Amino acid sequence: NAGVTQTPKFRVLKTGQSMTLLCAQDMNHEYMYWYRQDPGMGLRLIHYSVGEGTTAKGEVPDGYNVSRLKKQNFLLGLESAAPSQTSVYFCASSYSPGLAGADKYFGPGTRLTVL
């Protein structure tokens, strides 16, 4: 049981290049999330998905797109990378929250640098 995995772990892009970050979970979770973490700002939600085939915008969605074609995978795309997107990106997943709230399981992160 690998939990939540992210590919790649590190990446350096030039301004204007595109890339896709892959998140995979093997816990059969319905919900998946993409966050970015910047110094002094905590984690901010980019996009999330409440099930296969669904996506929704979070707090900072501009410049990113996502897809959830399979329940276990959640892809984050940067169509034209900008230096402001230099960050550490975390994926997370959880089962449907209900009233008790759901524990989120986080991946190890992807460190992205845009030059």
Partner 1 sequence: AQSVTQPDIHITVSEGASLELRCNYSYGATPYLFWYVQSPGQGLQLLLKYFSGDTLVQGIKGFEAEFKRSQSSFNLRKPSVHWSDAAEYFCAVAPFGNEKLTFGTGTRLTIIP
Write out the residues near partner 1 by the rule CB under 8 A.
4, 31, 40-45, 48, 50, 58-59, 90, 92, 94, 97, 99-104, 106-109
- DSSP three-state, residue 83: helix
CA atoms within 13 A on the CB side of 82: 4
Residue 36 or 85 with smaller CB distance to partner 1: 36
- DSSP three-state, residue 85: helix
Query: Minimum distance from CB of 109 to partner 1 (Å)?
Result: 6
Query: Minimum distance from CB of 113 to partner 1 (Å)?
Result: 16
What is the identity of the amino acid at 76? Answer: L
Residue 19 or 43 with smaller CB distance to partner 1: 43
For residue 84, what is the DSSP state?
G
